[in-house]
Amino acid sequence: MASSDSAGAAGSEFNNGPLASSSIPAAVPERRKVALIAGITGQDGSYLTEFLLGKGYEVHGLIRRSSNFNTARLDHLYVDPHNSSKARMKLHYADLSDASSLRRWVDVLLPDEVYNLAAQSHVAVSFEIPDYTADVVATGSLRLLEAVRSSSSSSGKPIRYYQAGSSEMFGSTPPPQSESSAFHPRSPYAAAKVAAHWYTVNYREAYGLFACNGILFNHESPRRGENFVTRKITRAVGRIRVGLQTKLFLGNLSAARDWGFAGDYVEAMWLMLQQDEPGDYVVATDESHTVQEFLEAAFGYVGLDWKDHVVIDKRYFRPAEVDSLKGDSSKARKVLGWKPKVGFQELVKMMVDQDIELAKREKVLVDAGYIDAQQQP
C-alpha cells in the first residue's frame, strides 16, 4: 500500500512541475486473457465462465441458434454488450457441425484458451440419435481442433486447447480407471468421445498444439440437466416432498459411478492449460456409489423412503450397460495440485435443497392454476 501511495504522490508532483506529464510513458493496461468456450450454456460451461471471470478473463461463448432462449444457466452473469466496460462475457452463434463458424470466431477473437465442452452428452439419447452424436461429439471436436490449429498457424499466436473427455470412454474396463487404462466404450456417445480424445492427442503430436484431454468422471450440480439420473432423482424428491409427484421411474439401480461437483471440476480444466507441457488427466473423486446409494442419500435427507416411490422401468436400461466407474485421479492431484472440495453427501444435499425450493415455486403456480402438475404420477 505504501508503494502505491508513493507512486500517486510522485505522479502529482510531476504533473504540477516544469516537466510535462507527456514526458512520462503512460501505463499500458494489462491485456485480459481471452477464453473461448464451446458449450458455454451447459452445466460445465456456466461454472467455467464464473471461474474464468473470477480470474479476470474476457469470456466468449459459442451458442447454437434456437427459437427458445437456452441461456438460463448464464442469466446471472449476463451484462448487455452495450455496457462494454462491464460485459466481460459475450455470446456468439456457432455450431460444432459448422466448421466455417468455428474458424470465423477463432480467427476474430484469437483467444488464449479454447475449451471444448460442447456435446450431445446424454448417453441413453446417443443410442437413439447416433449419427448426430458422432457428428457433434467426434467430428465437431475435429472441426474445432482444426480451426484452432489453422488460426494459430496463420496468426502466429499460440492457442491452448482443452477437450472434455468422459469416464464413459472406459466402459467395461474394470475400475479404478486412470490415464493408462484401456478404453472400451459401450455407447455411441462414449465411442465418439474416444475419437475426440485421440483427435486431440494427434493434433498435439502432429502439430505441437498445446492440447489437453480432461477425462472427467460424472460431475453433478443443481444445474445438471433434468434428464440425467442424479438430477432426475433430486427433482423428484423435491416434487414428492411438496406433493406434486408420487412416483419416480428409473432403470438400473446397481450401476456405480464416481460422482463429484461440477464446480470443482472446472478448476481442473483451467489448471491443465496453465501447465508448462500439455497432457491428459483423469478428474474424479476416487469414490464410487451406486444409483441406489444416491437414492438413499437423497430421499433419506428429507425423511422419505425411496422404496415407497421408485418404480423400475425397463425402458431406462441401456442396450449395453456400464457397470462400474471409479476414477484414479492421482496424476491430477500430484501434477495440477487439484483435489475435489465437495463430497458425495454434501453434493446430494446441495442438489436436493435447490430442487425443493424449485418445487415450492412450482407448487405456487400449480395452486394458482397457472400450470398443470399432472404430467406424471
Residues 283, 332 contacting (CB under 8 angstroms): yes
C-alpha–C-alpha distance, residues 95 and 32, integer Å: 26
Catalytic residue at 189? yes
Q: How many Å apart are CA 161 and CA 96, to the nearest integer? A: 15
For 118-179, give the DSSP string.
-S---HHHHHHSHHHHIIIIIIHHHHHHHHHHHHHHHH----EEEEEEEGGGTTTSPSSB-T
* HEC assignment per residue over 265-285: HHHHHHHHCCCCCCCEEEECC
For residue 62, the cross-strand partners are: 38, 92
The grid coordinates of residue 331 equal: 496424476
Q: What angle do CA 212, 213, 216 make, to 5 degrees?
A: 140
Cα 106 from Cα 6, distance rounded (Å): 43
Characterize the bridge pairing of strands 211-216 and 289-290.
Answer: unpaired
Options 57, 115, 161, 189, the catalytic residue: 189
Cell of 330: 492421482
Q: Point out the catalytic residue in the list 58, 168, 220, 362.
A: 168
Q: How far is CA 140 from CA 62, 137, 205, in A?
A: 13, 6, 19
- Respond yes or no: is residue 168 known to be catalytic: yes
Strands (E), 39-77: 58-63
- Annotation marks residue 178 as catalytic: no
C-alpha cell, 2: 505504501
3-state secondary structure of 340: coil
Q: 10 Å Cβ neighbour count for 94?
A: 25
Nearest in space to 104 (alpha carbons), one of 41, 147, 156, 152: 147
**Cα 16–chain centre separation:** 53
Choice among 166, 181, 221, 329 that is catalytic: 166
The dihedrals phi and psi of 70, each to the nearest 5 degrees, come to -125, 35
Instruction: Report the catalytic residues.
Output: 166, 168, 189
